[in-house]
């Protein structure tokens, strides 16, 4: 690059080094402040109960795995005499719990809740992406009467307030014996996600040139073969991005979960606030659960970086 | 090249041609689709989605419309279903409490969206200067938006604890106010701002991301031309940057406004509507009427009123969306 070109680039479209430095400082400051609550959560997970609620709030503390142990176990308080009579603790977590005059009574409900989140999340994502791909392909490639109205109808179902939707769903599920079942939650989340899936995937499939399929059709492929062997391989990034968005929605969803599930099908979001220790919320355990719950989303967000904009605007803004 | 059948026109093209070639086209189309015409495939592909949405969204909605004309109360479901006409709607629309909740909701929507536009647009302008490592920091800023509002809202209650919470401690370090002298979630004067603050923390980045796309859609040559005309940076901002980002900003505003109108999860866990009813958004009122007082008829009517409001907003939203799309 010549000196002249460089200087013009700076003066017109590119910010001056000084302007960049100021912008960088403000943005980094904001980012650091914005990320602090998340750092605090991750740190609280490694605090002891008393450190978690100490005044002044502790930045430096002795890390412990108590929070994680408490998250995964149910404990009972025992007298020191009783504990002394027990056979010696064999595992590190038994030892940790006994330091507080407690004995592990069994596993907590966190693992079943986590599994519920996984089953409902993946189940609804798979269904939504499957149905969404078919519908998006049809909307993209065929002339469907009233296509715009149908697409608007599909989108509008997602505009409804979840609490309002939950009222008739609750009544309907009571009749069908679907309250507090994984199947019921999968169907509900699929219905919510399919609107996003159709809109996003239609955008992705629109971008695949028709010529490839037409060539395949001329070569004697059936429509379904062309879809499977020509279109899908090219749409795979879009399908993956859509799937992650659906998964994140199902994973994070709270309103339906808290109103329609109570036990068998309860997912993590309504469960986490009710992780209770002696005297209120067991903050290190809550923080541990929150950390485990949030880490996959953080990884997915980084993976999705390029498609984020598209996902959050229903495909309206691409790039 | 008569053998090529355009995927869209396969059935239609066959009809408009002479009988003989129609037969050929038909048999070829049938062979290619494995016995199915394109039209059949189109419907087979779209139908499951539509049926699912009809079953999970529309059928319950119609049921709810019926219930909104009844006095059904699930905690007294032994009572016979009594139709009360428009009584529920009259009760709701003449209830001062409901209007107060709607006002609280409107204030929350306006304050949080305004703050998010300010923060989001500001950050987008700064990030658009493309300083070093801007892409890494952008990802960091985007993280809160992807997290579960419920799970994160729950954790903010610890951060906001008056005595032990790090938020109060930080404020007291900066201002000298004792950390136990104020409660972000427990005070009538502060709680409405607390939910706005947490909502902005989560969703300011959303506005930022959309504005960033808007800023990047402005071609460089427009700025170059402005520079040739010696337009000041201030002038460039008001005559180029802002007007060209407005459609994107509108999209973000509408989306946020609809989402915040529906807001339930974060606020339910952070303040659960309190103290008193200072942060009781209409979704929380609806949840209490429907799932605590079990007034199903009444809450169905309230839900329908909310539907109509959101649906009206959604219409505007889709129009704006299409306008941005055409750019």
pLDDT beyond 60 at A113: yes
pLDDT beyond 80 at B135: yes
pLDDT digits (tens, 9 = 90+) for A241-263: 999 999 999 999 999 999 999 88
Confidence band of A13 (pLDDT split at 50, 70, 90): low
The H or E element that residue A107 is part of is: strand A102-107
B168-175: average pLDDT: 90
Which of B150, B207, B240 to mutate to probe the A interface, most A CBs <10 Å? B150
Confidence band of B102 (pLDDT split at 50, 70, 90): very high
pLDDT digits (tens, 9 = 90+) for B254-264: 889 989 999 99
pLDDT of residue B255: 87
Which of A26, A27, A140 to mutate to probe the B interface, most B CBs <10 Å? A27
**Token pair 């006095």 in the structure block, residue:** B71
CA–CA distance, A47 with A40 (Å, rounded to integer): 10
pLDDT of residue B324: 64
Which of B31, B40, B49 to mutate to probe the A interface, most A CBs <10 Å? B49
**Cβ separation of B32 and A169 shorter than 8 Å?**
no
pLDDT beyond 90 at B130: no
Q: Quickly list DSSP for B113-167.
A: HHHHHHHHHHHHHHHTT--TTHHHHHHHHHHHHHS-HHHHHHHHHHHT-TTT-HH
pLDDT of residue B309: 87
CB hemisphere CA count around A212 (13 angstroms): 17
pLDDT of residue A102: 83
Percent of chain B with pLDDT over 70: 86
What is the average pLDDT score of chain A?
A: 88
pLDDT of residue A9: 43
Using only C-alpha atoms, chain A has a radius of gyration, in whole angstroms, of 26
Which residues of B fall within a CB distance of 8 Å from A267?
none
- Residue B163 burial (CB < 10 Å; 0-12/13-18/19+)? middle
Cα separation values, B325 from A134, A316, B314, Å: 23, 6, 16
**Cβ separation of B150 and A35 shorter than 8 Å?**
no
Confidence band of A78 (pLDDT split at 50, 70, 90): confident
Taking CA–CA distances from A227, the nearest residue in chain B reads B33
Q: Which of A188, A259, A308 sits opposite B209 (nearest CB)?
A: A308
pLDDT of residue A130: 96
Confidence band of B326 (pLDDT split at 50, 70, 90): low
Picking from B52, B25, B30, B53, the residue whose alpha carbon sits closest to that of residue B40 is B30
CA–CA distance, B284 with B291 (Å, rounded to integer): 10
**Cβ separation of A286 and B155 shorter than 8 Å?**
yes
CB pairs under 8 A between A and B: 319
Cα separation values, A285 from A69, A112, B62, B86, B155, Å: 8, 16, 43, 49, 11
**Is the minimum CB–CB distance between B327 and chain A shorter than 8 Å?**
no
The H or E element that residue A73 is part of is: strand A73-77
pLDDT beyond 60 at A17: yes
Q: What is the largest CA-CA distance in chain B?
A: 91
The H or E element that residue A104 is part of is: strand A102-107
The H or E element that residue A106 is part of is: strand A102-107
A137-142: average pLDDT: 92
**Is the minimum CB–CB distance between B164 and chain A shorter than 8 Å?**
yes
**Is the minimum CB–CB distance between B300 and chain A shorter than 8 Å?**
yes
User: What's the ipTM?
Assistant: 0.87
Which residues of A fall within a CB distance of 8 Å from B179?
55-56
**Cβ separation of A27 and B269 shorter than 8 Å?**
no
Looking at the DSSP assignment, which residues form a beta bridge with residue A276?
A: A281
Residue A176: phi and psi, rounded to 5, are -95, 5
**Cβ separation of B45 and A134 shorter than 8 Å?**
yes
pLDDT digits (tens, 9 = 90+) for A27-76: 999 999 999 999 999 999 999 888 888 888 888 888 989 889 889 988 88
CA–CA distance, B224 with B232 (Å, rounded to integer): 12
What is the average pLDDT score of chain B?
A: 84
B94-106: average pLDDT: 92
pLDDT digits (tens, 9 = 90+) for A192-248: 999 999 999 999 999 999 998 889 989 888 888 889 989 999 999 999 999 999 999
Asked if B257 and B106 touch (Cβ cutoff 8 Å), the reply is no
Fill in the DSSP letter of residue B54.
I
Handedness of CA B290, A178, A243, A315 (dihedral sign): negative
């Amino acid at each position: 690059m010549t000196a002249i070109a460089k200087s013009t680039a700076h003066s017109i479209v590119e910010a001056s080094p000084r302007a960049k430095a100021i912008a960088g400082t403000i943005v980094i400051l904001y980012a650091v402040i914005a990320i602090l609550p998340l750092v605090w959560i991750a740190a609280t997970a490694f605090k002891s109960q008393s450190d978690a609620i100490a005044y002044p709030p502790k930045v430096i503390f002795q890390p412990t795995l108590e929070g994680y142990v408490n998250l995964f176990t149910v404990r009972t308080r025992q007298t020191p005499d009783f504990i002394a009579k027990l056979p010696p603790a064999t595992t590190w977590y038994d030892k940790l719990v006994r330091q507080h005059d407690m004995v592990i009574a069994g596993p907590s409900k966190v693992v079943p809740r986590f599994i519920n989140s996984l089953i409902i999340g993946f189940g609804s994502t798979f269904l939504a992406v499957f149905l969404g791909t078919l519908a998006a392909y049809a909307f993209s490639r065929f002339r469907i009467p009233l296509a715009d109205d149908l697409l608007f109808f599909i989108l509008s179902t997602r505009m409804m307030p979840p609490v309002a939707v939950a009222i008739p769903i609750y009544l309907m599920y009571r009749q069908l014996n679907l309250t507090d079942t994984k199947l019921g939650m999968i169907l509900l989340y699929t219905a919510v996600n399919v609107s996003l899936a159709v809109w996003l995937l239609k955008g992705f499939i629109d971008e695949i040139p028709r010529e490839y399929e037409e060539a395949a059709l001329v070569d004697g492929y059936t429509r379904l073969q062309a879809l499977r062997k020509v279109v899908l391989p090219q749409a795979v990034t879009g399908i993956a991005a859509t799937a992650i968005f659906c998964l994140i929605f199902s994973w994070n969803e709270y309103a339906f979960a808290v109103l329609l599930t109570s036990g068998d099908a309860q997912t993590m979001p309504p469960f986490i606030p009710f992780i209770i220790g002696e005297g209120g919320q067991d903050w290190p355990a809550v923080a541990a659960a929150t950390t485990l719950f949030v880490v996959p989303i953080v990884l997915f967000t980084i993976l999705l970086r390029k498609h984020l904009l598209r996902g959050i605007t229903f495909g309206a803004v691409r790039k | 090249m008569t053998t090529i059948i355009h995927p869209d026109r396969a059935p239609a093209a066959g009809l408009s041609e002479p009988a003989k070639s129609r037969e050929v086209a038909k048999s070829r189309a049938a062979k290619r689709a494995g016995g199915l015409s394109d039209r059949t495939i189109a419907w087979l592909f779209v139908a499951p989605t539509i049926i699912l949405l009809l079953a999970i969204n529309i059928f319950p909605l119609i049921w709810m419309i019926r219930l909104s004309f009844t006095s059904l109360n699930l905690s007294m479901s032994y009572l016979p279903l009594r139709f009360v006409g428009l009584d529920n709607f009259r009760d709701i629309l003449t209830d001062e409490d409901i209007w107060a909740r709607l006002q609280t909701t409107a204030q929350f929507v306006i304050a949080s969206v305004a703050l998010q536009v300010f923060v989001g647009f500001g950050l987008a302008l700064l990030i658009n200067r493309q300083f070093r490592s801007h892409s890494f920091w952008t990802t960091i800023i985007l993280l809160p938006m992807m997290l579960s509002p419920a799970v994160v809202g729950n954790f903010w209650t610890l951060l906001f604890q008056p005595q032990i919470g790090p938020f109060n401690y930080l404020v007291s370090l900066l201002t000298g106010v004792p950390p136990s002298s104020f409660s972000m979630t427990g005070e009538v004067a502060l709680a409405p701002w607390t939910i706005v603050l947490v909502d902005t923390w989560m969703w300011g980045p959303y506005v930022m991301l959309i504005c960033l796309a808007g800023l990047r859609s402005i071609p460089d040559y427009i700025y170059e031309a402005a520079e040739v005309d010696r337009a000041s940076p201030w002038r460039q901002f008001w005559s180029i940057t802002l007007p060209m980002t407005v459609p994107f900003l509108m999209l973000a505003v509408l989306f946020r406004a609809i989402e915040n109108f529906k807001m339930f999860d974060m606020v339910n866990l952070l303040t659960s509507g309190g103290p008193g009813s200072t942060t009781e958004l209409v979704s929380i009122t609806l949840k209490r009427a429907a799932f605590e007082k079990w007034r199903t008829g009444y809450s169905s009517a309230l839900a329908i009123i909310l539907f109509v409001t959101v649906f009206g907003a959604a219409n505007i939203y889709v129009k704006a969306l299409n306008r941005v799309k055409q750019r």
